[in-house]
């Protein structure tokens, strides 16, 4: 099959490269010549483990190419994917669909209209229910209805694990009731089909909603365990054991039950907000989703207070080492990262911040230009009055804790991701604060 991928952002690039790796001929298109130049020179504009090698392999095999020229890219194509951004619109939280509609207009002008020509236009961007209908309306202004079909095919990729998520998904969701489009989509995903991955064919609007419902549910799950963590701290219980105890119930499941500083990233905050707005427009109350949004925002703000409280109530003049800036490990993505809420609050309270992240420091500097950064975690720790773990990068788990203690000016560790064991940390002489545990658990008092 020949595939055109419009948009080489995170979703478009990963999907395009993986389709090429399935054996299809893929042309990735972007308006930004700098991005295309980078890709053509063998570089990757985003950080995603394994992506660079996969690009090189498929470019070499002649199945993958990059261009700014949509017209050439679309020649003979079976499917054109729209994978452009849908950011939150400033002020109201609605998904901004202007990039999606602009792409639809451009594609419409280039769809072949000869006898029997048929192109599937696939919406991969996360879009509110009904966007496919609007894309179809825009296209139909330029092209005869028989020449195309608009399909919804949401992505469920996690940053940092995107290639695996694409190639070994729990399911693929395809929204179309058109048999010709269904046949093209089946062929595109054939390697998965052969692997017995469930492919859910459904109506287009339902498919669009599945994406938002999935993300809102996962955000709810995280927020729920975060609230349980607060309760654990107050009543003297252990949130990781609560998570394990409930997660073994198959109806609940053990994933997405890690308590932390609140969810961030490019999807959950934006998609929960957009879902709430869609519901408002439809005069439906989504009180759970709205509460999740508020609770998560409040939690990120509260994390700064938790750090201040752990350091005796006043951080003025203290040097605080922040380890981990990205919204989660294995990415350089800073979008809605908890660190962006926590750090400015600590700065306001008079703390001096020195930060380290293995991948996200260049991105972080755009948002937080006035704090200090170091190239090595131990340099950040050196002379600090406290270490705060904000993102759970593996390299922090393997620290030489004796060395950390020697380097610190005061042995305070505040672990917002529960990567260390309290008992061991206290035995080493640290004052250790984490998430969802009583200050000193009863079984450690001896
Ligand atoms: C998410 C969805 O998982 C993916 O299916 C969708 O396509 C895009 O959004 P992503 O944003 O890359 O993916 O990251 P994810 O691993 O889901 O984590 C999102 C946020 O939740 C992170 O801030 C993470 O730290 C937090 N999280 C996740 C928790 O706090 N606890 C958990 O148990 C899981």
Q: What is the CATH number of the domain that holds 314?
A: 3.40.50.720
Q: Which of 214, 246, 253, 256 for mutating ligand 1's site (highest number of atoms within 8 Å of CB)? A: 256
Confidence of residue 114 (pLDDT cuts 50, 70, 90): confident
The token pair at 429 is 């002489």
| List 18, 28, 232, 267, catalytic entry | 267
Is the pLDDT at 90 greater than 90, yes or no? no
268 C-beta closer than 6 A to ligand 1: yes
Atom of ligand 1 minimally distant from the CA of 331: 12
Is the pLDDT at 95 greater than 90, yes or no? no
Compute the distance from residue 195 Cα to the ligand 1 centre, in Å: 25
161 C-beta closer than 6 A to ligand 1: no
**Largest separation between any pair of C-alpha atoms in the chain:** 83
Compute the distance from residue 108 Cα to the ligand 1 centre, in Å: 34
In the prediction, which pLDDT does 442 show? 65
Atom of ligand 1 minimally distant from the CA of 165: 5
Q: Report yes or no on 40 lying in a domain.
A: yes
One domain for residues 185 and 274? no
In the prediction, which pLDDT does 115 show? 80
One domain for residues 247 and 112? no
256 C-beta closer than 6 A to ligand 1: yes
The closest of 314, 320, 313, 341 to 389, measured between CA atoms, is 320
CB 359 within 8 A of CB 331: yes
One domain for residues 171 and 268? no
Range list of H helices, 236-356: 239-247, 268-281, 287-310, 338-348
Find the mean pLDDT for residues 308-336. 97
Q: Which of 127, 157, 158 for mutating ligand 1's site (highest number of atoms within 8 Å of CB)? A: 158
328 C-beta closer than 6 A to ligand 1: yes
Is the pLDDT at 446 greater than 60, yes or no? no
Domain-terminating residue out of 202, 219, 238? 202
Atom of ligand 1 minimally distant from the CA of 327: 23
416 C-beta closer than 6 A to ligand 1: no
Compute the distance from residue 5 Cα to the ligand 1 centre, in Å: 25
Find the mean pLDDT for residues 119-134. 95
Atom of ligand 1 minimally distant from the CA of 328: 25
Compute the distance from residue 261 Cα to the ligand 1 centre, in Å: 12
Find the mean pLDDT for residues 48-62. 97
Q: Report yes or no on 209 lying in a domain.
A: no
One domain for residues 41 and 89? yes
Task: List, for residues 165-201, the tens digit of each pLDDT value.
Answer: 999 999 999 999 999 999 999 999 999 988 889 999 9
Q: Report yes or no on 29 lying in a domain.
A: yes
CA distance 306 to 313: 9
CA distance 94 to 205: 17
Count of the separate structural domains present in the chain: 2
Which of 35-44, 178-187, 436-445 is predicted with the least confidence, judged by mean pLDDT? 436-445
User: How many other C-beta atoms lie within 10 A of the C-beta of residue 78?
Assistant: 16
Atom of ligand 1 minimally distant from the CA of 160: 12
261 C-beta closer than 6 A to ligand 1: no
One domain for residues 185 and 332? no
Q: Report yes or no on 217 lying in a domain.
A: no
158 C-beta closer than 6 A to ligand 1: yes
* Host H or E run for residue 322: strand 319-323
One domain for residues 32 and 108? yes
One domain for residues 291 and 420? yes
Write down the pTM of the prediction: 0.94
Within 8 A by CB and 6+ apart from 220, the residues are 288, 289, 292
Compute the distance from residue 158 Cα to the ligand 1 centre, in Å: 7
CA distance 423 to 240: 14
In the prediction, which pLDDT does 93 show? 77
Is the pLDDT at 325 greater than 90, yes or no? yes
In the prediction, which pLDDT does 439 show? 76
In the prediction, which pLDDT does 274 show? 92
363 C-beta closer than 6 A to ligand 1: no
Q: Report yes or no on 26 lying in a domain.
A: yes
Task: List, for residues 369-424, the tens digit of each pLDDT value.
Answer: 999 999 999 999 999 999 999 999 999 999 999 999 999 999 999 999 999 999 99
Q: Report yes or no on 215 lying in a domain.
A: no
Is the pLDDT at 57 greater than 90, yes or no? yes
The residue assigned the tokens 């600090």 is: 384
If you average pLDDT over every residue of the chain, what do you get?
Answer: 95
Atom of ligand 1 minimally distant from the CA of 417: 30
329 C-beta closer than 6 A to ligand 1: no
One domain for residues 194 and 265? no
Is the pLDDT at 103 greater than 50, yes or no? yes
DSSP string, 4-59: EEE--SHHHHHHHHHHHHTT-EEEEE-S-HHHHHHHHTT--SS--TTHHHHHHHHH
One domain for residues 323 and 435? yes
Which of 116-120, 217-221, 246-250, 291-295 is predicted with the least confidence, judged by mean pLDDT? 116-120
Q: Which of 222, 223, 255 for mutating ligand 1's site (highest number of atoms within 8 Å of CB)? A: 222
One domain for residues 440 and 333? yes
Q: Report yes or no on 153 lying in a domain.
A: yes
In which domain, by residue range, is 33 found? 2-202
Atom of ligand 1 minimally distant from the CA of 214: 5
Q: For residue 267, indicate whether it is catalytic.
A: yes
The token pair at 159 is 């940053």
CA distance 74 to 89: 30
Is the pLDDT at 12 greater than 90, yes or no? yes
271 C-beta closer than 6 A to ligand 1: no
Q: Report yes or no on 278 lying in a domain.
A: yes
CA distance 313 to 67: 55
Q: Is 251 helix (H, G, I), strand (E, B) or coil?
A: coil
Nearest C-alpha to atom 10 of ligand 1 is from which residue? 158
ipTM of predicted complex: 0.97
One domain for residues 241 and 160? no
Domain-terminating residue out of 150, 183, 202? 202
Compute the distance from residue 263 Cα to the ligand 1 centre, in Å: 7
Within 8 A by CB and 6+ apart from 207, the residues are 152, 153, 154, 173, 174, 175, 200
CA distance 445 to 204: 58
Q: What is the DSSP letter of 245?
A: H
Is the pLDDT at 94 greater than 90, yes or no? no
CB 359 within 8 A of CB 326: yes
Find the mean pLDDT for residues 108-120. 91
Confidence of residue 119 (pLDDT cuts 50, 70, 90): very high
Domain-terminating residue out of 186, 202, 218? 202
One domain for residues 198 and 244? no
In the chain, pLDDT over 70 holds for what percent of residues?
A: 99
């Amino acid at each position: 099959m020949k595939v055109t991928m419009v948009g080489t952002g995170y979703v478009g690039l990963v999907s395009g490269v993986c389709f090429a790796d399935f054996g299809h001929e893929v042309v990735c298109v972007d308006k930004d010549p700098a991005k295309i130049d980078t890709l053509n020179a063998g570089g990757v504009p985003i950080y995603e483990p394994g992506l660079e090698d996969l690009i090189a392999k498929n470019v070499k095999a002649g199945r993958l190419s990059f261009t700014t020229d949509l017209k050439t890219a679309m020649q003979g194509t079976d499917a054109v994917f729209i994978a452009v951004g849908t950011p939150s619109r400033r002020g109201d939280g609605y998904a901004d669909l202007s990039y999606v509609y602009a792409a639809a207009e451009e594609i419409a002008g280039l769809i072949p209209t000869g006898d029997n020509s048929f192109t599937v236009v696939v919406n991969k961007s996360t879009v509110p229910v009904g966007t496919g209908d609007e894309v179809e309306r825009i296209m139909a202004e330029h092209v005869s209805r028989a020449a195309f079909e608009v399909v919804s095919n949401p992505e469920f990729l996690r940053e940092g694990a995107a290639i695996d998520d694409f190639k070994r998904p729990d399911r693929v969701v395809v929204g179309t009731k058109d048999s010709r489009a269904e046949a093209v989509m089946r062929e595109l995903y054939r390697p998965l089909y052969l692997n017995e991955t469930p492919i859910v064919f459904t109506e287009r609007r339902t498919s669009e909603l599945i994406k938002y419902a999935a993300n809102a549910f996962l955000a709810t799950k995280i927020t729920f365990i975060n609230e349980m963590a607060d309760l654990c701290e107050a009543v003297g219980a252990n949130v990781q054991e609560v998570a394990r105890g409930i997660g073994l119930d198959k109806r609940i499941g053990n994933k997405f039950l890690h308590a932390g500083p609140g969810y961030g990233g490019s999807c959950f905050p934006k998609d929960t907000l957009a879902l709430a707005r869609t519901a408002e427009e439809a005069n439906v109350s989504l009180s759970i989703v709205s509460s999740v949004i508020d609770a998560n925002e409040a939690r990120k703000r509260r994390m700064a207070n938790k750090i201040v409280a752990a350091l005796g109530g006043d951080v003025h003049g203290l040097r605080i080492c922040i380890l981990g800036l990205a919204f989660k490990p294995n990415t350089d993505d800073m979008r809605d990262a908890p660190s962006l809420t926590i750090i400015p609050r600590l700065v306001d309270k008079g703390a001096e911040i020195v930060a380290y992240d293995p991948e996200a420091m260049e991105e972080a500097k755009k948002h937080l230009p006035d704090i200090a950064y170091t190239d090595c975690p131990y340099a950040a720790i050196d002379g600090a009055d406290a270490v705060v773990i904000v993102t759970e990068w593996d390299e922090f788990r393997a620290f030489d804790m004796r060395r950390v203690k020697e380097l610190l000016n005061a042995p305070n560790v505040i672990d917002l991701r529960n990567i260390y064991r309290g008992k061991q940390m206290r035995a080493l002489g640290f004052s250790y604060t984490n998430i969802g545990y009583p200050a000193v658990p009863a079984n450690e008092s001896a």
